[in-house]
Every structure is written in C-alpha cells, then in structure tokens.
Amino acid sequence: ETIKQYPITKLSHIIYSFLKIQNDTLTFHNDDQRKNLEELVALKKEHPKLKIMVSIGGWGGCAPCSDLFASEEHRKNFAKTTVALFKQYGIDGLDLDWEYPAIEGYPGHKYDAADRDNITESIKTLRIKMENNYLLSFAAGGFIKYLEQSVDWDKVTPLVDFINLMTYDLVGGYAAITGHHTPLHSYRPGQESTSLCVNWLLDKKVPANKLIIGAAFYARVWENVQDSGHGLYQSGKFKRGVAFFDFENYFSDTSGYKYYWDKKAKAPYAYNASQQLFATFDDRRSVKQKSKFIRRKKLGGIMFWELIQDLKQRGLVEEMYKKLR
C-alpha cells in the first residue's frame, strides 16, 4: 500500500533493489520480498506503461560477483534462472549493480582485472537469453576511475537498454574532506561530477539516449568541519545521511543550518556554524538544473536513490517530471 502514496504516474521504471544471488541463481531474500515484488508488478494493471525491474548487487551486495561472473557455466545458469524468474512473476528486466568490477568497491570484496571482460560476457549471456523480451541495464560508478577501468564501453553499450550513472556519493563516507556529493559540474582538479561523467561517455560515443544520470534523495552530513568557506572543501568526518522527506525538519530555521548555492557546481550545500556540521545534497533547485542538462544533452533521463526518501506529494519526483515533460 505504501507505494501507492507516491506519484507512480510520474515514473517510467521502478527498480526493486536488491534481490539475491544464491549460488548462481537469482532469487528472493525472503517471502516479504517476493510479496513486495508481486505488489509492484500488480501496479502495471493501472499503469500499463510502467516497467518493473529488479536489481542485484548494490554497495556491499556483490561479494560473489567476481567469482560468479568469471565462470561460463555460472553465467549461463544465472541468465537462465533470471529469465525463468521474470516469466514467473511478470518482471520487465534486470539492473546489474556490481560495485565494482576490476576496481576496489566494498571493503574486502574480491575484485580482479579480469572482471572487466567478465561483466561483458555476463551481459552478452543475459542478452542472448533475454532476447529482446526484457530490459537490461547496469548501474555505473559516476567517477572517472570506474569509467576508465571497470567496463568495456564499446562492447557493452550496444547490449544494454540504458546505463544508470550513479552520479552521487562522489564524495563518499570515507572522505576526510567535505565536498559536493552529487554536483552537476566540477571546477577543481580531481573533482568528480555529473557532467564530467556524461561528457567522458559521450566522447566514447556512448549514445546520449542510453545515459541516465543519478540524483540523490538524501543529504550526507560531516561533523568537526571548520567555518571556512561555509564548510565546503574542509576537513571533517562523515556523520550521517538525512532523507529528503526530513529536510524541512533537519534543516529548519531553528536548526542552525544556513543554506548556500555553489553557482559553478550548480549544487546546494548547508553549514551549521555553531555545531560545525556540513551537508551536501540534491534539492528542487539542483534537480531542476540536472533536468535542464538532460534536455540540453538529449540524455535518456534521470534516476535516483531512492523513492522512499522523497516526499509522498510535491517532492523531487514531481519537480523532475515538470521539467522533463
């Protein structure tokens, strides 16, 4: 029932995250998850254009991926069981969220240079098995190291329907220096951003309409941040995340936070001088700018993590929809 409180008509795809891989078989974590998925698929009765996809992996969810996708037998079995599950439940496709092939992702998870070719082979095997009956996409790190080392873009791009660029957490929880975690533009050496990521891929001849940029429906907050430049690009320690639906409360007039806008990055941030807290996030203003960028570059659209962090009415989804329709 919860899902129906959100503006479903404004969404083209819902990606349910995350199913699990058991041995080499796509399956549910538990019965609740199966029921949730059935409820999502049932939405298609009222919203026939809506696509319901499932995702595997995520941060910390792809421990077996390096080994699994290294074996042809495992890849074939994974593809076969995936299509069987889709048929059984009326699912429209798969989003592969391996964080990350060939480079370090979740601490302690195996990664190997061979992952780059193995993800190509996995996507090939999935596409053959799915034919054109199902959607296939993957979540890509929105940062240069991933773009350069994790994926063979020439081989993979023609096989997928779209690519979800995780252009958020670009300054992560381990970072000892604050910054924008989901900026549209970058202007400092080594600074990651949405436009940097998109332009890198467009230069590689990845079709613009397959690129989906990412927005964050949450803030990342750092503590022990000096009052210099309102806390931007200062040392600090990651403290917590805050969901967009809680912004009005967390960043209220009495909270001690002041709001700022970085014109060059097209990104908002907030600083609490009395408590030395710094926050970076997306909001209505930055999502408007991202939507303009999508139209200008003729990109495929925008995705976000995650719907339950939005307001149920008049939230960020509606803001994007207004600008992109």
The residues assigned a catalytic role are 99
Q: Any bridge partners for residue 137, and if so which?
A: 95, 162
The residues, any chain, with a CB within 8 Å of residue 131's CB and separated by 6 or more, are none
65: closest CA among 14, 138, 131? 138
Cα-based distances in Å from 194 to 41, 180, 237, 262: 31, 11, 24, 15
Q: Helices (DSSP H) in the chain: which residue ranges? A: 31-42, 65-68, 72-89, 115-130, 144-149, 153-156, 194-203, 247-250, 284-297, 316-324
101 φ, ψ (degrees, to nearest 5): -70, 135
DSSP string, 263-275: TTTTEEEEEETTT
Pair 86, 129: CB distance under 8 Å: no
User: In the numeric block, which tokens belong to residue 235?
Assistant: 């040392």
